[in-house]
Amino acid sequence: MDEIFRNGGTRKVLMDEKKKLIYAVEDDEGIGELYQGALEDDYDVRIFPDGAGFLTAFSENKPDLVILDIMLPDMDGYSILVKIREKDERLPVVIVSAKGDELSLVKGLNKGADDYIVKPFSILELRARIKTALRRVSGTVRKVSGFDIDGNTYTVRYDGKELGLTLKEFNLFRTLASKAGVTLTRESLLSDVWGMDYEGETRTLDMHVASLRDKIHKAGGGDCIVTVRGVGYRFEQ
């Protein structure tokens, strides 16, 4: 297939330029059309008005990212998120919902969402957050202080032992390790790893750090994540 430029020239469009596949679970036809129009230039977007149709398609062909509404006609988005995580812990999921209260946001993140956007939203914000979520799960192997961080398989190994991290734990570890020796605030970690502007409790972050430390210790990695009281955390080499 050729791509035509304004000057009349062409170039071959290679098969490896295939667009990433996004499934959007949204029962509002207008918002579904908005997703399609805003994203179709860069992504292959498929809209599902209910959870059942999405789950059927998901079982047959996994996408690269899921946009998920909470209030749906046949089941709530939290239930769908749980089913996604039962099959794939690392697939990026972005919740987009009119439920903007703190409890709904925390519930979505605790159940495994990578980001939470409140309706109404801007197209620029949506595109930026999708790009960020996809970027978090891409990359190559990087070595830091005896740890092998593989951005392709989302795994971390220490001395050959895999830590068995969840996607959130992997992204948290990679964020800390990428800035070894630098103290990162709780606010910046929540923004970088959860993709949100921090407001409220830090318990979600602290719980993930505790779990991450436990897995590092079991692999023999020592005390590489240091708590800086009143500020945040630091990765020590």
Q: Are residues 30 and 132 in the same domain?
A: yes
Domain housing 103: 11-136
**Residue 2 resides in a domain:** no
Q: Are residues 156 and 191 in the same domain?
A: yes
Confidence of residue 197 (pLDDT cuts 50, 70, 90): low
Asked if 188 and 179 touch (Cβ cutoff 8 Å), the reply is no
Neighbouring CB atoms inside 10 A of 71's CB total: 11
Phi-psi region of 151 (alpha: psi -120 to 50; beta: other; left: phi over 0): alpha
**Is the predicted pLDDT of residue 7 greater than 80, yes or no?**
no
**Residue 35 resides in a domain:** yes
**Residue 5 resides in a domain:** no
Q: Are residues 79 and 150 in the same domain?
A: no
Please tell me the distance from the alpha carbon of residue 169 to that of residue 110, in angstroms, as a whole number: 12
Cα–Cα nearest to 177, from 142, 125, 213: 142
Residue that is last in its domain, among 97, 115, 136: 136
Residue that is last in its domain, among 112, 136, 160: 136
Question: What proportion of the chain, given as a percentage, has pLDDT over 70?
Answer: 88
**Residue 3 resides in a domain:** no
Query: Mind listing the pLDDT tens digit for each residue in 110-147?
Result: 898 989 999 998 999 999 999 888 877 666 667 888 89
C-alpha pair distances (Å), 189 with each of 28, 30, 85, 155, 213: 33, 34, 22, 19, 16
Residue identified by tokens 């899921």 is 66
**Is the predicted pLDDT of residue 28 greater than 90, yes or no?**
yes
Task: Quote the pTM value.
Answer: 0.61
Alpha helical stretches, state H, the chain: 29-39, 51-60, 77-87, 102-110, 123-136, 167-178, 186-194, 203-218
Q: Average pLDDT over the chain, rounded to whole?
A: 86
For the segment 5-17, the average pLDDT, to the nearest whole number, is 40
Q: Which DSSP string corresponds to 137-184?
A: T---EEEETTEEEETTTTEEEETTEE----HHHHHHHHHHHHTTTSEE
Q: Are residues 41 and 130 in the same domain?
A: yes
Q: Are residues 152 and 101 in the same domain?
A: no
Give the pLDDT confidence score for residue 5 in this predicted structure.
34
Q: Are residues 61 and 113 in the same domain?
A: yes
Q: Are residues 102 and 26 in the same domain?
A: yes
Q: Are residues 127 and 155 in the same domain?
A: no
Phi-psi region of 160 (alpha: psi -120 to 50; beta: other; left: phi over 0): left
Number of structural domains in the chain: 2
CATH code: domain of residue 108: 3.40.50.2300
Cα–Cα nearest to 144, from 190, 182, 189: 182
**Is the predicted pLDDT of residue 200 greater than 70, yes or no?**
no
Query: Mind listing the pLDDT tens digit for each residue in 58-89?
Result: 999 989 999 999 999 999 999 999 999 988 87
Confidence of residue 97 (pLDDT cuts 50, 70, 90): very high
**Residue 211 resides in a domain:** yes
Q: Are residues 118 and 169 in the same domain?
A: no
Residue that is last in its domain, among 136, 171, 206: 136
Q: Are residues 72 and 173 in the same domain?
A: no
Please tell me the distance from the alpha carbon of residue 193 to that of residue 136, in angstroms, as a whole number: 8
Out of 132-146, 189-203, 217-231, pick the least confident: 189-203
Give the pLDDT confidence score for residue 38 in this predicted structure.
94
**Residue 6 resides in a domain:** no
**Residue 1 resides in a domain:** no
Q: Are residues 152 and 195 in the same domain?
A: yes
Out of 24-28, 154-158, 189-193, pick the least confident: 189-193
Sheet (strand 155-158) strand order: 141-144, 147-150, 155-158, 161-162
Q: Are residues 153 and 132 in the same domain?
A: no
CATH code: domain of residue 200: 1.10.10.10
